Amino acid sequence: MELLAALGQYLLEAFVLPGLCYLLVFAMLYGDVLDGIRAKLPGESERESSLGLWISAVAVGAGLLLSSVTFAIELLFRHWCWFNALFPEIDVVALNLYQMGVLSAGAAVMHFNIAVGIFIILAAYPIYALSRDDAARPALSESARRARRRFRAWVAVGVLVLTCANLAVSSALFHRTQNILRAEDEEHHRPPPASWRSCE
């Protein structure tokens, strides 16, 4: 039961919580899209419950979809030792064998997924802005347009800061998980995984 509880928390940290962060950043950058979706929801009497259900569904779906992209990026970068030095690969076999470090591993993956996911959302924004900005609110005055551009610029800066912060926290948690599992390996006289040895 303890393993199942830890696994459930790992999945929550790795997928669901990043999905909520993705949704928040998406709402700040792509507000017009969310306004259009909200306008299609049922009337006022049902809108509040429908909105909550919709947010939950989108958060979980976005967490699964975008986190799968971040996992693919992680697998791609695993070919370089500099990446493995910053984000040591988690030994899943040892994680399951010792049942130690599961929470720190989940938190490491969560922060990495958040960092890469919100950066992907930010990187896609210029395409959206070029195709939708003028058509979305043609009645805006020039001063309102400047204010919106300043707001989005600050949001972009904030997202970049959050990306760097989450990468730094993720790196520290990857190392913490590696240290936990390495100590258990030494105690049980188990050789470390080949990926750790190849980059040392």
What pLDDT, on a 0 to 100 scale, did the predictor assign at position 70? 92
pLDDT of residue 161: 94
The answer to whether the beta carbons of residues 115 and 168 sit under 8 Å apart is: no
Do the beta carbons of residue 101 and residue 181 sit within 8 Å? yes
The pLDDT value given to residue 116: 95
What is the pLDDT, as a whole number, of residue 170? 95
Q: Among residues 32, 42, 18, which one has the least CA distance to residue 129? A: 32
Task: Decide: residue 126, CB within 10 A, 0-12 exposed, 13-18 middle, 19+ buried.
Answer: exposed
pLDDT in tens, the chain (200 residues): 555 666 677 677 777 788 888 888 888 888 777 666 666 655 554 555 556 677 777 777 877 888 889 999 999 998 888 999 999 988 877 777 777 777 888 889 999 999 999 999 999 888 877 776 554 455 667 787 778 778 878 888 999 999 999 999 999 999 999 888 888 877 777 776 665 555 65
Residue 53 near residue 149 (C-beta atoms within 8 A): no
Looking at residue 64, its pLDDT comes to: 83
Structural domain spans, the chain: 2-198
Q: Which residues contact 162 (CB under 8 A, 6 or more apart)?
A: 114, 115, 118
φ/ψ (deg, to 5) at 30: -120, 50
The pLDDT score that the predictor gives to residue 118 is 93
